[in-house]
Amino acid sequence: MGTSKGTRSQAQTSSATLNIGGNHVQITNPDKMLFPEMGITKGRFMQELVRLSPYLLPACEGRYLTTIRYPDGVSGKFFYQKNAPEPTPPYVKTAVSEGISYVVLNDITTLLWLGNLACIEYHPSLHKVHDPLPTEWIIDLDPSVEEEPRIMEAASLVGDMLEQLGLRSVPKTSGATGVQIVIPIEQGPSFTQLKELGHVVAAYLCERHPKLFTIERFKKNRGTNIYIDYMQHDKGRTIAAPYTPRATRYASVSMPLTWDEVRRNPMPRDFHLLNAADRLQLTGDLIQLEPKQHIEPVLEALASHIAALQKRR
């Protein structure tokens, strides 16, 4: 059944107020289309945010948050939001770093407030507020071409090498075109130590698979090779949170996978807002379920190896 212009105008300017624990969150224009190709309105987007919240909130809690806002949907203009949007409701927690007042996403009320502002993507810092040490180690695999059929093969090779080092890891789709390998660690090592280890891993893989991997920083010089971005894991930088929606035409969601799933070669677009929450009810939070591990023995072995090489020179 068609919708008259008057009805459509009324729907787009409609609003509602939710009372969550005594805090009031206004929901405006719930019928605005955010993902046209998937038929996902702002109202449906926020419903799915609520369903994802048991997984997305732990991934963002206590961290400096950058969001990407799409006021007119994913086919419209967007902008990065670092400073907390004004006016900021009293229930929204913020933390200042280098002169920027970031939102700290700790609760469902704040998530819904951000969702109503059409904050589609959630990119937290790689460390907690006022703590300079990383809470995990992440290796980012970034394709150089838009459609990369080898991305899961590349992820498997990284996972295999980490296993040889005695490290357990969890792969996750970025939600866009890439894959990130998350290594849960006990807090202690610095970003610098982990970047040095990442460089060793990346250089070894590039030497073994020169037609698949690269550590060339300039995209124009990478050809079709997959960039192993060990530099992105650093203080002040961000990576798309596990379980964040992404602003793709198929409404993809950054999704942790099992290594068996990786070997079945899924596409990042297979995991999206219309199926992510149902999947998570079956799998649980694969990252939170993976115990943290001590990485110091690997770092000590690396330091000894470097010292031995320097002695020979």
CA dihedral 57, 60, 65, 70 (to 10 degrees): -50
pLDDT attached to residue 11: 41
pLDDT attached to residue 1: 35
Q: How far apart are CA 28 and CA 300, in angstroms?
A: 54
**Contact in structure between 74 and 249 (CB atoms under 8 Å):** yes
Give the pLDDT band (50/70/90) at residue 312: low
For residues 300-306, give the mean pLDDT: 79
Sequence-ordered list of residues with C-beta below 8 angstroms from that of 160, at least 6 positions apart, any chain = none
Give the pLDDT band (50/70/90) at residue 306: low
The phi, psi pair for 88, rounded to 5°, reads: -95, 120
Give the pLDDT band (50/70/90) at residue 6: very low
**Contact in structure between 259 and 175 (CB atoms under 8 Å):** no
- Report percent pLDDT > 70 for the chain: 93
Sequence-ordered list of residues with C-beta below 8 angstroms from that of 214, at least 6 positions apart, any chain = 144, 206, 222, 223, 225, 226, 227, 228
* Residue listed under structure tokens 């982990």: 194
- Residue 302: pLDDT above 90? no
For residues 30-49, give the mean pLDDT: 97
For residues 251-277, give the mean pLDDT: 97
- Is the CA virtual torsion 241, 245, 247, 251 positive or negative? positive
HEC secondary structure over the chain: CCCCHHHHHHHHCCEEEEEECCEEEEEECCCCEEEHHHCEEHHHHHHHHHHHHHHHHHHHCCEEEEEEECCCCCCCCCEEECCCCCCCCCCCEEEEECCEEEEECCCHHHHHHHHHCCEEEEEEEEEECCCCCECEEEEEEECCCCCCCCHHHHHHHHHHHHHHCCCCCEEEECCCCCEEEEEEECCCCCHHHHHHHHHHHHHHHHHHCCCCEECCCCHHHCCCCEEEECCCCCCCCECCCCCCECCCCCCEECCECCHHHHHCCCCHHHCECCCHHHHHHHHCCHHHHCCCECCHHHHHHHHHHHHHHHHHC
